[in-house]
Amino acid sequence: MLNVENLRAGYSSVPVLHDVSIEVGAGEFVSIVGPNGAGKTTLFKTLSGTVPAMSGSIRFDGHDLLAVPPHRRPHLGIAHVPEGRQVFPSLSVLENLEMGAYTEAGRRSWKENLKRIYSWLPVLAERAAQPAGTLSGGEQQMVAIGRGLASAPKLLMLDEPSMGLAPTVADFIFDRLMDIRRDAGLTILLVEQRVAEALQFADHGYVLETGRVVLAGDSRKLSADDRVRQAYLGM
Amino acid sequence: MTEPQILLEGFLQALAAGLLVGAIYGLMCVGLAMIFGIMRVINFAQGDFMMLGMYVAFFILVGLGVNNLFGATIGPYVAILLAAPVLLLFGYLIHRLLISRVTGARTAGLEGEGHYAQLILTLGIALVLQNGSQVLFGSQLVSIRTPLSSAAWEIGPFWGDFVSVFINKGRGLAALFSVLAILGLWLVITRSRLGRSLRAAADNPEASTYMGIDVDRAYRTAFAIGTCITALAGGLLATNYPFHPFVGLEFVIIMYAGVVLGGMGSILGAFWGGMTIGLVQQLSTLVLPTQLQNTAIFVCFLLIVILRPQGFFGRVVERT
Ligand SMILES: Nc1ncnc2c1ncn2[C@@H]1O[C@H](COP(=O)(O)OP(=O)(O)OP(=O)(O)O)[C@@H](O)[C@H]1O
Ligand SMILES: [Mg+2]
């Protein structure tokens, strides 16, 4: 479904990603882990087009993504739940979800979708009329995820959904993600600092360090890899 | 009439005048609120966009024969309505050709987010529009008068046979249209998909892109709407107020004051900001010489800004 090949990208001609290749098959759950500053967020932004690619290719669902302007990419079925949540603070929770449904697919399936989102994340229904900026961090993360789901995506990209959250809240969010994946059969690409969980739930994973993929493979094998155990799992 | 009756009549008359002119100021301010309050673009040419709206309405009225077609009473309002889409297009083009170079993605992260460049650019646009209009239209006063501007409704008498308020029909109608325009815009902004996407783009441009919004186009649309709304206010004002190519200078400050008073980023707030200025201006004539009208506005403005810096309708939620 998503095929990234030899991608180089960065900020004002300073490359942050060097030669990154990644593959995500339809229905798969893929995790990307790596230390701070490795370029995980930059990779997501390049996929969404807010960071320009310097070379390489990105294919998504039969499209050459680099030829598609950034604001058209969500309409192809990519939902980006960005790092730091980035909800629309002055819009109500419901309006945030409606913004998610800005895509054609999201509009078509809005009613059923909203019901499902509320069933996964009931707190959004309780807070529907509240400005999203007044919610707690965990609630805002749920808004951001709900907003992504409202676009009826084929691929859901999540950039550190557990960032800055208490462990119990982060656990709750991971549980919900598993429910969502099971119920909706979504393809998920996850960037996470909580490496143990990220690999536990994923089908396969990539380890990104200073803009390069240094390890890749089946997530069980990755969790068992000595380098991963030492560097990320503290074992 | 007794002394208290005279005082009361003077007060009520000033109050009515303040409400009527305040409604038009409110509409003007709402136009600027779209551009400055919501999209955070500093536009010094807003007053001149208003002036352009006045002239376009004027030329549609006399040049395109709208006056003959619809008569002297309805004609002006038709002309003002027809001028609105012209200014919408004008705003769209000005943004596309010039403003977009100093806003949005190009200036994100720059010091002051491009505000310095916006300041200089829009000052330049203002000068070109003022001097260009002077060359093209001359500097004599013109107006879009309707016979309604010299007729009045009498309300009252309230106190025996005395104390009546006279409402100029032209001003009354202009105020009514202003309020309707604001309600319409408010519905669009709060209820429609377009309005929601404009608010989202103002809140967080990057996340808006992830929703599939063309952020550049959203900003352009907001700019065009803001231009059109202020120009509409200009047209309505012109039914009672003769104008000239430099008329924008008199109003651009009122607009900024109104938007700040209302609390940046709030459409209804900007309306109340403009309304407040209209009321202060008219009520101050009761106790101050007319020359001090504008001073009164600014004393009041300073007081409110000191006492309530977030404005009447300041956002509870800060932007990212
Ligand atoms: N806007 C920017 N301009 C210039 N350099 C940037 C910008 N954003 C990030 N970088 C640099 O790019 C590199 C990768 O950053 P990125 O945010 O992609 O890392 P990350 O893997 O997401 O890290 P974290 O785990 O902390 O979120 C870092 O060295 C960072 O300093
Ligand atoms: Mg990151």
Q: Which of A7, A14, A36, when mutated, tests ligand 1's pocket best, judged by the most ligand atoms within 8 Å of its CB?
A: A36
Residue of B nearest to A44 (CA): B210
Q: Are the beta carbons of B6 and B159 closer than 8 angstroms?
A: no
Is the model's pLDDT at B106 over the cut of 70?
A: no
Cβ of A222 below 6 Å from ligand 1: no
pLDDT-derived band at B317, boundaries 50, 70, 90: very low
Domains and CATH numbers, chain A: 1-74+154-161+186-235 (3.40.50.300), 78-150 (no CATH)
- Which residues in A have their CB inside 8 Å of a CB on B? 48-50, 69-75, 79-80, 82, 86-91, 95, 98-100, 102-103, 131-134, 147, 151
Confidence of residue B188 (pLDDT cuts 50, 70, 90): very high
Which amino acid is it at B126? A
Compute CA distances B293 → B17, B219, B280, whole Å.
14, 35, 8
Give the pLDDT score at B313. Answer: 66
Q: Residue B114 — very low, low, confident or very high, per pLDDT cuts 50/70/90? A: confident
In this predicted model, what pLDDT tens digit does every residue of B68-98 receive, in sequence order?
Answer: 888 888 999 999 999 999 999 999 999 999 9
Rounded Cα distance between A178 and A99, Å, is 24
8 Å CB contact of B212 and A103:
yes
With bands split at pLDDT 50, 70 and 90, how would you rate the model's confidence at B320? Answer: very low
Q: Do B238 and B57 form a contact (C-beta atoms < 8 A)?
A: yes
Q: Tell if the CB–CB gap between A88 and B200 is shorter than 8 Å.
A: yes
B203 with A91: Cβ contact below 8 A: yes
The per-residue pLDDT for range A108-160, each reduced to its tens digit, is 999 999 999 999 999 999 999 999 999 999 999 999 999 999 999 999 999 99
Burial state string for A89-101 with b = 16 or more CB within 10 A and e = fewer than 16:
bbbbbbbbbbbbb
* Predicted complex ipTM: 0.95
Q: Closest Cα partner for B253 from B25, B16, B90?
A: B25
- Cβ of residue B319 closer than 8 Å to a chain A Cβ: yes
Pocket test for ligand 1, best of A7, A8, A11 (most atoms within 8 A of CB): A11
User: What distance in Å separates the CA atoms of residue A147 and residue A79, rounded to the nearest whole number?
Assistant: 9
pLDDT at B318 over 50: no
In this complex, is the C-beta atom of B314 within 8 Å of any C-beta atom belonging to chain A?
A: no
Where do runs of H (alpha helix) occur along chain A?
40-48, 73-76, 93-100, 104-108, 110-120, 122-126, 137-150, 167-184, 195-201, 219-224, 226-231
pLDDT confidence band for B150 (50 / 70 / 90): confident
Within A127-225, where are the H helices?
A: 137-150, 167-184, 195-201, 219-224
Q: State whether residue B211 is helix, strand or coil.
A: helix
Cα separation, B118 vs B124, whole angstroms? 10
> With bands split at pLDDT 50, 70 and 90, how would you rate the model's confidence at B13?
very high
Average pLDDT, chain B: 89
Between residues A43 and B260, which one has the greater pLDDT?
A43
Q: What is the pLDDT of residues B262-278, one digit of tens each?
A: 887 788 899 999 999 99
- pTM, two decimals, is 0.91
Instruction: Say which of A74, A99, A151 has its CB closest to residue B200.
Output: A99
Task: Determine if the peptide bond prior to A167 is cis (ω within 30°).
Answer: no
Of B200, B209, B317, the CB nearest to A133: B317
Give Cα separations from A137 to A99, A124, A158, A161, A169 (angstroms).
19, 13, 15, 10, 10
Q: Show Cβ contacts of residue A7 under 8 Å, excluding neighbours closer than 6 positions.
A: A17, A19, A20, A21, A43, A46, A53, A55, A56, A57, A58
Of B199, B203, B209, the CB nearest to A71: B209
pLDDT averaged over every residue in chain A: 94
What is the rounded distance in angstroms from the CA atom of residue A86 to the CA atom of residue B305?
30
Q: What is the pLDDT of residue B47?
A: 96
Counting Cα atoms < 13 Å in the Cβ hemisphere of A24 gives 27
The whole-number average pLDDT for the span A34-44 is: 94
Identity of the residue in B203, B214, B265 whose CB atom sits nearest the CB atom of A88: B203
- Cα B131 to Cα B139: distance, rounded to the nearest angstrom: 10
Tens-digit pLDDT profile for residues A178-225? 999 999 889 999 999 888 888 988 999 999 999 999 999 998 888 888
Interface of B with A in 67-106 (CB under 8 A): none
Assign A235 a pLDDT band (cuts: 50, 70, 90). low
What does the pLDDT read at residue A185?
87
Q: How far is the centre of ligand 1, averaged over its atoms, from the C-alpha of B59 (Å)?
A: 56
